[in-house]
Structure formats: C-alpha cells, structure tokens
Structure 1
C-alpha cells in the first residue's frame, strides 16, 4: 500500500479543523459522551496498524477525528501510518498538527525528529529533538539522534558531547558508542586497534538495523565498517545483503564479488549472487552461482551433483501419474481420496517436499535451492516438482539445478492448483508432506528443527506449523506471524483461531501423510483458500505442533495467484464457500460461534480486497467481490461498515456505478 484512502485536500481540511478545535478549547456535549466509543475505536485502529492492516487502521483513525477533530492520538497515528507507507510530506502534516494539539508529547516530537532526519532535514530534526529533550531529559535515543544530526551539520564536538552523555547513562549503548567512534574517526583520532573495534561494532549495528528493516542505516553502518577496516570480510558480505534488500543490485554484486576475493569458499555469497542474477532474469549465471554455492555449503549435494555427470541425458519428460478417483466424506461434503503408499520394501523418507509449479520461472530456482541446501539424501527427503502443464515445460530449468535429486512430473493437462496439490500429495511417499509454493522458500533449519520435534510426537498430531514472514518482490518483510509466541509444542486449540480466519501460510505448514489419507485432499471447488479449508478440517480432528521460529518466507507479489483471484472476485467467492463447507463439520458446541466470527472477520477483510480490482479498473471484478461480501455477512454492523467504505475516495467508481444502475432501473407503474 502506497496511497491513502483520503485526498490531500481532505487531509488539509481535517488538520485545519483539528487545530481550530484545539485553539477554541471548546468541547460539545456529544463529543464528551463519545469518549468511551472513541477509546475503543482508537484501540482497534492501533491494533490494525500493528497488524499491517493499514487501510482499516486509516478508516478507524478518520472515524475518531469525525467524533473528536483534535484527538492527538488519531493525528499521531495517521502521521506514523503515512510515514509507514512512504508519504513523508503527509506524515509531516499529521505529526505537526499533533504537536500543536498536544505540545507536551515526547513521542510526537521524537517522531517528527526521526521523520526529518530520514529526509536529511538536519536543522529541522535538531529543533524537534531539542524540544523532545526539554520534555524528557536524559533520554538515550534522543541524545544519540540529536548527536547524529549535529554531526551531520559538522558540529563534531557538540555531537560527541551528547554521545558521551548517553554512554554515561548506559555504557553498553551500542548506537551511541558507534556514533562516537565514527565521529572520532572523522577527526582522525583513532588508533589501528580502535578502528578494528569500531569497524566490528558498525558491522554488528548494521546487522541489527537490517533486522529492524532500517536498510538505509544498515548500509551506512556497513560502509562505515569498511571505511574503518577495508578487508573486514563480514562487513562486505553484510553490505551486499543490505544493498540487495534495498534493490541496489549492481552494488550488491560488487560487494559479494569483493567478499569472494577475500574468501573464495564463501558459499552464501554465491547463493545470494544467484538470487540477484535470477531477479535480473539471467538464469545461466543464476544456475552457475547457485550450483557453486550449494556445493560449498552442502556436501550431500556436491556428491550427488558429481554422480549426475555419469547419468545419461534424456529429453523425455515424465508425466504425472494420476490415481483412480475416490472420495472421503467429512460432514456433508466429499473430498478427493488420497491413497495410502504402496509397499515396495524401500525405506520411506521422512519428508516429501512437493513443489507445484506453473508457468513462472521468476522464483522457482530460489525455491529449489532453499530446499536443496538442507537436502541430506534420498533416504531422508524426496523432492517432487509437479508442473501443471506449463508451456514450455519447466523440465530443463528444474534439471539444471536438481538433476539426480529432484523428481519432476508434468501434468498431462492443466489441473489448476487444487488438482496439482492433490496429484503431488498422492505421488508422495514421505511420512510428512510439505507443500511449498514455487515462489516461496524455506530458511535454514526448517526441516531439521521440525524433524527433531515431530519424530517423537504422538499420533494425535496431524500437522505442524512454524513462524513465518511475508515478503514482497524486493524481499522486504511486510508481515511476521508467530501465532503462539515463543511457546513450542502441541496446541489443541488452533481451531479457535483457524476456524475464524487463516493465520497460517502453506509454506509454513507440514501435514502427516496419514492425515491426508483419513481426511482426504483439497476440495476441487475451491480456487482459493483451499489451504484454509483443509487446516480447519485437520484442526477439527487432530492436534497441531507449533514450532515458534521464523523458518519460511511467503512471497506476496503482483504475479501471485492471490492477486489474479482478487481481480476476478474468485478469492472472496472461495472464502464464502469455505465457510459454508466447514460449517458442516465443525464441532457442534463451537460451530455457531466460530462461523459467525468468521463471517464478520472476512466481511471486513474482503471489503479491503475490493480495492484490488478497483485500482486495476476492473469494475466487474469489484462488483462480484461486493456481491460475495454481502453473501458472507449482512448484519447491520457490517452494512454500516460497507456504507462508510463506499463514502471513501477509492470507492468512487463503484459508488457511481451503483448510482447509475439504480437510476437505470425501470419504474413500476
């Protein structure tokens, strides 16, 4: 999201009203009566913003201002939201208004300073930080940031004074120590040993800044580390990571190449070069870099790759074996039968990693590499790629990186997502199955950690899931999910969450094969949310295992199937259908409550989804989405939210079309 639901003129109007209201000092009776309601709306807005549901958060903040035009928390929240979506000028307007309405707010002045600092408005940032420091003396972050703004203006001695004040209060405050070292280095006051010390500190802080998604400062830290110690290997590699995350690909390539000059056996540098070449659609270079990196970090892969040199090349493309159709009844609905594994005498692998693929080549190599990096032999893991009749076939691309290890099949005709998933599960032999989208990837330790937990778990556990992060096309983390926090173990109440909405993503989930054999596969009617429906089915009959670490990345991008299904309205139709299906098998004592909560949740969720076809000019898809939303929930509360949304600027085309259709209706005599 990089735009807001309200126009620039509306922003200015709301700010003028807020300032005038505050200056008048008057509170009308209705406004005083709304205090409790406003507090509840604000709490919900903050939660939505924390969950990255920014459209919903913005609408809620505006509702607050409509009731209390000079509410400082709503003004502040809108300022932080605007900054979050990359609208610094709008953020400045909201935060400045908040500072006028509540001039004794430290967080508002500090946030204004940070905003101006990010825009390199150093003198203005200094003013905001000094105002914050008056309100909250001896604040470590304010001391450090004020010192940095002074340093950027060439005021080194005053900057050093503030860094030292911060370190007097907290001697291990790394940000201030790094800033102090950099200021002393700029003045030529560091010895060789001190330069090494501060280079390592800069590198350490850069890693922390990148983890906090502050790429600009991460890059600055790593460059400063290199300036202090030009042959610091880790700084060059970490600089490459930060530059790559920010999309500065050529600079990242240079950093990785410098890393390999310092250490030719740095396998991770090759793997990251492979990701960049893949992003640049230079698949030949990507394959070469990936192979070199995998050989260096995984001896099992190196051995298997050497063995493939003796294999005979063949152009024959294996066809996916399709099993006889059968059904399993759960509740009132029937699901495709998943046949048990035929006994061959061979030991079954613990893992079956099934990667469905169709047409896209953008991310498939990266997905395969993430699995191959953890592959430790065929007795431990089988890897299947199920190509859903891509044209041209993906056979050569898969073989280029996984020949002799990855089993490739191509469907005889396009089976769509649900058919391909069922075909992959049916052809698997592992005890546990991991369905991994071709545009997602696992992080190091995914299979190792899960196996350690699942090997001894009871049969009551039918599936497991890990923490995960959503990333966008440039690998920026946009969302993080750790449903049970740091808890690790069996969870028996997942149905209370997954029954209402889907908190999981397929790449973070593994399912026991016998679970599929008992409950069936993916419902053939669902073009979307088929994963959510099966999670509800499993949670109704089984416990789940939860592994808290972030061990997988789920990619959200413009070419994803979700975007395509949202444009047509199919996603919302599948959500509605999934609610109807699960209503037939949910436990009797929970069914009514869970279903009602689910309808309410997805009404709000899918209302935001309507903006996808609207922004694409796809009015038919927007209308279908709206129709399906009204089938999900028609309660008075939901209809009120619909009418509020229809008043927003983004809904104008849909609102106009509704009015036109009403006017065009024939009149009854």
Structure 2
C-alpha cells in the first residue's frame, strides 16, 4: 500500500518465522562485474544463516548475469531473487526491505562493499538499546578501479548517538547506502522509500529516520561507496533532474520536520537545504562549463535558481556566466590572431 508522498507501507515479518539479527539485502542492476567483490566482503564477515540473511535482489538485469555470480561465490549461502520486470531503483530498495526478515537491515548496493569489522561494530548500538533507529559509519568514496578518492566527514570523534542530528542531515546529504543499517521496525513504523523520488530517495529516508529516532555514529570508515562516471546519477545531472528531485525531497522532509518542531524552524532548515543545493548545482554548472558542456550547465543553473533566488545565488549565477563568456570571447579573439 502506498501512503502519502509515495511512501509504501512495510508490513511486519509474519509470526513463526525464525529471525536473524541481520538482513543483508543487495540490490543489483547491470553491475555483476562488481558483485563478486560485494559478496566476498559480506561473506568474509558471515556469522551464519541463523544470525545473517544474505540475499541479492536483482532488478531484471539486461546486460549481465548476477545469478551466476551468486551461484559461484555464494555457493548456496546467498539467496537470489529476480524481479519479474524492471521496477526501478527505488522500488527495488523497497523490495529489499519487504523481503528482509532480520531485525536490522543493511541495503548494500551490488557495486559497493564493506570493510572488515563492519557488522561487528555496527551491531553494538542495537544491543540493549531498543531506541536506536539506525547506525552508520564513515564511508570511503572509490572509483571504478577501487582507488580511494576521499572519506566522508567525521561527525563526532567517538562512537555514540549524534546530538541534533536531524538539523544536520536535513540540510545536506551526508550518508551513503553501504554505510548505514536500519532497524526493520523503523521501516515498519515510518514506511519505505518514497516512490516519488529517484536521486534523493535515500536522503529523504535518512532525514525521516532522524526526525523520529536517535541515530548512532561510528567514526571508523568501514564501507566503500563507488562513484561511476557513467551512472544514472550522471545522466540525471545532464538534465538537472537530480536537483529537481532534491527539491522535491526537501518539501517531503519538511512535512515530517513540522511534526517534530515549530513550523518556523522546519521552514528555516528547508531554506538552508535549498540554498546549499543551489550552490551545489552552480558548482556542477561551473564544472560543466569548463568542459564546454553548455547543456548541463544551463540545466543545473536553472535548477539552482529554482532552489533559491537569494541575492547571493543570483549574484553568483551572473558572475559565473559573465566570467565564462569573457573567457570564451578572449579565446575566440586569440584564435583569430593566429
């Protein structure tokens, strides 16, 4: 059942089913080339089927055979489910939740992976504390060839519950899928990923969780998130849809924030988030202009102004294009003198 804002209801696990502590759910779509590494990183920390469900949920891949990888690497330990048709990333995430039976759910993309001690470290906050809704660690960004690019920010020096976390996560995305685990009962309470979102469905979920539950932070970087040059995100950037999706997610998040704080405070947080992503879009536009990619630059600039029409954003937008037009004119003049 789909509720308000395209958020599906998550039913409880049927009674009588033996429940492990972990459900490691691995969504895939045309990423079998990386799946072996993903599975091996999980199986290296396998604590047995009584404590850990491991399942690959494939969104009807068309370019490779993830089931063959599962059969070879999983050797019967990893279950496999293929969607009868391509349902899209967000719906596949929700299928992962619905198919999970563990008390704590880890959605690990089929091209990401975890580092040693991930499950050991992130199990600790849930032991003896029923109030913790989710826990996450720092993550490392890697490229297609596993080169470490950079590490996510240190939210606090020691592990523990993050104070005022909702105000921080509500203004900018700071969590990636491989680094976070969520109590299944939280999904049952607040619903799954919004079907109205694509690029920002995960960020909206992390904000929703933080609005209603305490969130634990582990300072060690224990997960790796892969950045692809030719990803769905890259295609969304060209059209500006990534920023449009972010704006929509901010509006959805504000509705939940208003349930937990004064409306004025919720609106101010949303304003800060829109301002942040206006500048993010302008930086993307500037990078596009440096490659003479005017289509992407114009799409990102347009979405930046939809996020915020503050004086600073307007000034920076004008400055960006004036500077690049002047550079273009200088280059043309230089070429004509040759």
How does the TM-score come out when normalised to structure 1? 0.46
SS at match of 2:192: coil
Shift of 1:393: 3.8
Q: Hey, what's the Cα distance between the residues in 2 that align with 1:611 and 1:449?
A: 40
Q: Hey, what's the Cα distance between the residues in 2 that align with 1:485 and 1:477?
A: 22
Q: Does the 8 Å contact 1:364/1:438 carry over to 2?
A: yes
Give the 5 Å matches for 1:193-272: none
Q: Who is 1:417 aligned against?
A: 89
Shift of 1:581: 1.3
Shift of 1:617: 6.5
Q: 1:562 pairs with 213, 218, 233, which one? A: 233
Deviations 1:368-388 (A, max 9, x none): 110011012101111111111
Shift of 1:612: 6.1
Is 1:373 equivalent to 2:44 in the alignment? yes
Q: 2:28 pairs with 357, 368, 373, which one? A: 357
Q: Does the 8 Å contact 1:566/1:612 carry over to 2?
A: no
Shift of 1:526: 1.0
SS at match of 1:593: helix
Shift of 1:603: 0.7
Q: Hey, what's the Cα distance between the residues in 1 that align with 2:292 and 2:91?
A: 31
Q: 1:451 pairs with 107, 123, 127, which one? A: 123
Q: Does the 8 Å contact 1:482/1:550 carry over to 2?
A: no
Q: Does the 8 Å contact 2:254/2:270 carry over to 1?
A: yes
Is 1:436 equivalent to 2:108 in the alignment? yes
- Ranges in structure 1 where 5+ consecutive residues have no aligned partner: 1-325, 654-669
Q: Hey, what's the Cα distance between the residues in 1 that align with 2:89 and 2:323?
A: 35
Shift of 1:579: 1.1
Is 1:593 equivalent to 2:264 in the alignment? no
Is 1:630 equivalent to 2:283 in the alignment? no
Higher RCO (CA < 8 A, seq sep 6+)? 2
Give the 5 Å matches for 1:482-631: 482-587=153-258, 588-589=261-262, 590-611=265-286, 619-631=294-306
How does the TM-score come out when normalised to structure 2? 0.89
Query: Relative to structure 1, is the Cα distance of residues 377 and 394 closer, same or farther in structure 2, using a 3 angstrom cutoff?
Result: same
Q: Hey, what's the Cα distance between the residues in 2 that align with 1:652 and 1:615?
A: 10
Q: Hey, what's the Cα distance between the residues in 1 that align with 2:67 and 2:75?
A: 10
Cα RMSD for the two superposed structures: 2.1
SS at match of 1:389: coil
Q: Which structure has the larger Rg?
A: 1
Q: Does the 8 Å contact 1:393/1:410 carry over to 2?
A: no
SS at match of 2:182: strand
Query: Relative to structure 1, is the Cα distance of residues 438 and 650 closer, same or farther in structure 2, using a 3 angstrom cutoff?
Result: farther
Q: Does the 8 Å contact 1:467/1:550 carry over to 2?
A: yes
Shift of 1:561: 2.9
Query: Relative to structure 1, is the Cα distance of residues 482 and 623 closer, same or farther in structure 2, using a 3 angstrom cutoff?
Result: closer
Q: Hey, what's the Cα distance between the residues in 1 that align with 2:85 and 2:245?
A: 23
Shift of 1:604: 0.7
Q: How many residues align?
A: 323
Q: Who is 1:644 aligned against?
A: 319
Give the 5 Å matches for 1:93-132: none
Q: Hey, what's the Cα distance between the residues in 1 that align with 2:326 and 2:234?
A: 19
Q: Does the 8 Å contact 1:565/1:571 carry over to 2?
A: yes
Q: Does the 8 Å contact 2:32/2:65 carry over to 1?
A: no
Q: Who is 2:331 aligned against?
A: none
Q: Hey, what's the Cα distance between the residues in 2 that align with 1:611 and 1:638?
A: 13
Deviations 1:302-358 (A, max 9, x none): xxxxxxxxxxxxxxxxxxxxxxxx1344xxx34111111112342x11111111110
Query: Relative to structure 1, is the Cα distance of residues 353 and 648 closer, same or farther in structure 2, using a 3 angstrom cutoff?
Result: farther
Q: Does the 8 Å contact 1:482/1:549 carry over to 2?
A: no
Query: Relative to structure 1, is the Cα distance of residues 522 and 652 closer, same or farther in structure 2, using a 3 angstrom cutoff?
Result: farther
Q: Does the 8 Å contact 1:328/1:519 carry over to 2?
A: no
Query: Relative to structure 1, is the Cα distance of residues 418 and 342 closer, same or farther in structure 2, using a 3 angstrom cutoff?
Result: same
Shift of 1:602: 0.7
Shift of 1:613: 5.6
Deviations 1:455-493 (A, max 9, x none): 22232x111111111122333322222432322112241
Deviations 1:542-575 (A, max 9, x none): 1111111111111112133322322232211111
Shifted more, 358-367 versus 348-357: the winner is 358-367
Q: 1:336 pairs with 2, 5, 8, which one? A: 8
Q: Hey, what's the Cα distance between the residues in 1 that align with 2:29 and 2:312?
A: 41
Q: Hey, what's the Cα distance between the residues in 2 that align with 1:535 and 1:599?
A: 17
Give the 5 Å matches for 1:457-476: 457-459=129-131, 461-476=132-147
SS at match of 1:583: helix
Flag the structure with higher strand content.
2
Shift of 1:577: 0.9
Flag the structure with higher helix content.
1
Q: Hey, what's the Cα distance between the residues in 2 that align with 1:652 and 1:593?
A: 38
Shift of 1:641: 1.1
Q: Hey, what's the Cα distance between the residues in 1 that align with 2:10 and 2:292?
A: 41
Deviations 1:286-311 (A, max 9, x none): xxxxxxxxxxxxxxxxxxxxxxxxxx
